[in-house]
Amino acid sequence: MGAPIKAARRSRFPIAIAFLVVLCIAVFFLSFFIGRYPLSPGTVLRILLSQIIELPQTWAATEARVVMQVRFPRIVLGFLAGGALSISGASYQTLFKNPMVSPDILGVSAGAGFGAALAMVNNLGWVQIQTMAFVFGMTAVIAAYLIAYVFGKQTITILILGGIVVSSLFQSLLSIVRTLADTDNALPAITFWLMGSLGRGTNQHILLLLPVIGVSLALLFLFRNQINTLASGESEAATMGVNIPLVKTVVIAASTLMTVCTVSVCGIIGWVGLVVPHIARMLVGASYGKIAVSSFLIGGVYLTMIDNIIRGIEGVELPLGVLTALIGTPVFVLLLSQVRKGWS
């Protein structure tokens, strides 16, 4: 890539981030007006402000419930989940130097899906389902990491192959569970969960995700320069004094933690972590720090807008993962031309 193009991307980075922040704010507020229950802008604004400052109540109790207990957690979860999946995808793609890598490359989604299905078959509650999804999602990644440690001395290639093996194993176990599941209740619930949804999100889920995502983002931010150096090659990074095993562990741990927490709350949402980092890369260039920030913002807007489409459809709730795949696949095909020209 030529120097003039790199200079242009450096100069437009602040503008791009400012635009994305404004877009996030606009999408956040506009999302409150989408749904079966109509709300006026003034009512929404007063209800939101009443959570910060004391205001006289001029709205109905039903309107407050719709805003704060139904739409607010769903919208915020859309931003958090989309941002977490996107920055995880960007981190994995940078670490593995592979544009086709997604956040579930180490078997997170397969492990979480098996855990959730196992809980549903045993008629456990929603909290237990999320806990089982989290535990088995983490188990899958740890298993992939152990395979790389034992057989490949933690090389990237063996780590990816370990993720493929673990993912295939949990997919097989998931198929067995689905075969044994009750076709009237458990099987439909498993199928719907596997396709992802923000519809069951609550404010408690936001309180759960915020510290996890916050700590993970802080770690990735602190190591952003080392990650950027590692993307140039392990030999060059070692020459510059980068602690390669530590950086790899931080990237994998932070990205996995964000992904598994998101999947345990929202189900499996594909294509976001694969497509959004490429859009960010085209917008701001190849620097990891810039890609990470823009990926988080773009991913949040992207997933929230897709969920808005779902909420705007009358009479049916489409699975979120289905729509992200329908939209993500043609977008990714368009991006393949950029990958073919060179990924740097």
pLDDT of residue 330: 87
pLDDT of residue 153: 61
- For residue 223, give both structure tokens: 């190591």
> 258 and 88 in contact (C-beta within 8 Å)?
yes
- For residue 74, give both structure tokens: 């769903």
Average pLDDT over the chain, rounded to an integer:
90
Q: Which position has the token pair 């958090």? A: 80
Please write the tens of the pLDDT for every residue from 113-165: 999 999 999 999 999 999 999 999 999 999 998 998 888 666 778 888 999 99
Query: Does residue 153 sit in helix, strand or coil?
Result: coil
**Burial tier of 125 (Cβ tally within 10 Å: 0-12, 13-18, 19+):** exposed
pLDDT of residue 340: 55
**Residues 6+ away with beta carbon under 8 Å from 108:** 137, 140, 141, 256, 259, 260, 263
**Burial tier of 150 (Cβ tally within 10 Å: 0-12, 13-18, 19+):** exposed
Q: Which of 182-191, 208-217, 233-242, 311-320 is most confident?
A: 208-217
Listing DSSP states for 21-79 in one string gives HHHHHHHHHHGGG-SSS---HHHHHHHHHTTTS-----S-HHHHHIIIIIIHHHHHHHH
Query: Does residue 10 sit in helix, strand or coil?
Result: helix
pLDDT of residue 2: 52
Strands (E), the chain: none
pLDDT of residue 92: 94
Q: Which of 154, 103, 117, 134 is nearest to 261 (CA)?
A: 134
**Residues 6+ away with beta carbon under 8 Å from 16:** 283, 284, 294
Please write the tens of the pLDDT for every residue from 204-252: 999 999 999 999 999 999 999 999 999 888 888 888 889 998 999 999 9
- For residue 60, give both structure tokens: 């109905």
Assess whether pLDDT exceeds 70 at residue 93: yes
pLDDT of residue 9: 57
* Calpha distance 220→249 (Å, rounded): 11
> 38 and 66 in contact (C-beta within 8 Å)?
no
* Calpha distance 142→148 (Å, rounded): 10
* Calpha distance 235→214 (Å, rounded): 31
> Which amino acid belongs to residue 162?
G
| Confidence at 261, pLDDT banded by 50, 70, 90 | very high
- For residue 237, give both structure tokens: 């990074």
| Confidence at 1, pLDDT banded by 50, 70, 90 | very low
Q: What pTM value is reported for the model?
A: 0.93
Assess whether pLDDT exceeds 80 at residue 274: yes
Query: Does residue 196 sit in helix, strand or coil?
Result: coil
> 318 and 310 in contact (C-beta within 8 Å)?
yes
